[in-house]
Amino acid sequence: MTQTALGPIEVLPPYVDQQLVERLGIEIAVCEPDLVVGSMPVDGNRQPIGLLHGGANAVLAETLGSLAAWVHAGADRIIVGQELSCTHHAGARSGKVTGVCRPLHLGTHTATYEIVISDEQDRRTCTARLTCAIPSSRRRKTR
């Protein structure tokens, strides 16, 4: 299935078949100003020993935080991930993980979010922090 939008953000037509969130199976459940929630399966996103790959956690975290920044700044803006840190607490082995993203700082030029990723047993597996730059002069072209 080709994804033409991610939350409130239109995927530009030349890139609809190239979305990493689609390849990783990320689904957005909530996309509101102070809360973005999304999930991702462990299957298909594993490291060689069978655990969920830490890079997949990073993609989920950056996806949720970037969507939150877009909701904050406006979907017509260009949002740029500036810094991402992930602390992996426990390895997810099956099912899916869910990320809950909440703002820590909402400014004019930057926004910072905490993303808590948990497994199906509600065990925290990763805590991430993302800061996005919100350049004032850059507007997104939708076509």
Residues identified as active-site: 62
Cα torsion at 52, 50, 95, 132 (round to 10°)?
A: 10
Cα separation, 70 vs 76, in Å, equals 8
